[in-house]
Amino acid sequence: MKAVILAGGFGTRLRPLTLETPKPVVPLFDRPFLYYQTDLLRRVPDIDEVILSLNYRPDRIEGRVGTGAEAGLPVRYVVEPEPLGTGGAIKYASRGIDETILVFNGDVLTTIDLEAVVRTHRERRARATIVLTPVENPSAYGLVETDDKGNVRRFLEKPSPDEVTCDTINAGIYVLEPETFDRIPDDTPWSIERKYFPSLVERSETFVAYIDRGYWLDIGRPTDYVRAHRDLMTQRCPVGPFAGAPPASVHKAGPCDVAADAQIDGPCFLGAGTVVGAGARIGPETVLGPGCRVGPGAVVDHAILWRDTIIEADCIVRDAVLGERCRLGHHTGVGPGVILGSDSILSAHSRVPGRDN
């Protein structure tokens, strides 16, 4: 069985972080986000290969992931000749495949039992199975209605409050039979959500919903990217380096050099090779990527720093995200909501005030 991960987006909402680092390999702590998805896929015994459907910066993704040794599954790359939409991308990536495929949107962090989804699909002899997740504000999304037997009956695009009949939305995970792809034109932008799925309903084909009420998050916005780290650190999403750890743990991913009088408040993550200087304070829900250096007297609080970023003496960084190899001169201040792209440099005594993001 093959798994297709749709990872061809431009990551526009996460810019400037994704200008050099495509979204599939944006780090969660010190691992590419993609690996949290392959961790789930490895739990399905039938899956023997992951196909990455790519468009934006495929060289960067392949250079980081390679053949899949770290991902735990063989990885193959399919690059769209042009953006083909979700339906077109799935058909293009699955050329030559006649067995059931599992499709995963490339920006979903979840704890779903994929083996149970596949089992449901096979037990129902479905042509397609869609995973649904409940949300608190259904009117902000396109809803998916089901009957009492779990069959999909209707899609409602951003309904008004009086039209809301359920709270379940498309979770971006599907099990599909390739013989149904004949309705998707070749090499043509095509939406699986707006065209392919409605065609299954119109033709009264067996189209099954699997409703999962566990953890689910689309990490595509900066606020949700930050939330993913915090949910992992507090074990609201019980996977990753903090799974099973005591509350407010300080996780060191490898050898670190932390001054004796530095203050480290958990939960927080220190990547391998991190250096924290004398009198510095690392606040809770902070992530220091591998090779980061925090100078004497500096404060880094509720912030995410990607690898090899340097914070010099007496800086204050709060509720911000800094890309790779950033450098903040001494006495610099960076406020809430600020995002600095990789290789950003701020000279000493600079101030970047907080703003909404």
Which residue(s) pair with 79 in the sheet? Answer: 54
Residue 51, both tokens = 């196909």
Domain assignment present for residue 357? The answer is: no
Which domain does 288 fall in, by range? Answer: 247-352
**Residue type, position 163, single letter:** E
- What are 205-245's pLDDT values in tens digits? 999 999 999 999 989 899 999 999 999 999 999 999 999 99
Are 178 and 321 part of one and the same domain? no
Domain assignment present for residue 211? The answer is: yes
We report the CATH number of the domain holding residue 326 as 2.160.10.10
Nearest to 23 by CA among 35, 36, 34: 34
Are 7 and 99 part of one and the same domain? yes
Nearest to 130 by CA among 160, 106, 104: 104
- Are 243 and 43 in contact by the 8 Å Cβ rule? The answer is no
% residues pLDDT > 90 (the chain): 64
Which of the pair, 9 or 105, is modelled with greater confidence? Answer: 105
Number of domains in the chain: 2
Mean confidence (pLDDT) of the chain: 91
Give the H/E segment covering residue 207: strand 207-211
Residue 244, both tokens = 């099973």
Q: What is the DSSP letter of 44?
A: S
Are 328 and 253 part of one and the same domain? yes
Spatial distance between the Cα atoms of 114 and 1, rounded to a whole number of angstroms: 13
- Measured CA angle at 133 (ends 127, 138), to 5 deg: 115
pTM: 0.91
Reported confidence tier of residue 114, pLDDT bands at 50, 70, 90: very high
Domain assignment present for residue 28? The answer is: yes
Which residue(s) pair with 171 in the sheet? Answer: none
| pLDDT value at 188 more than 90 | no
Reported confidence tier of residue 139, pLDDT bands at 50, 70, 90: low
SS3 349: coil
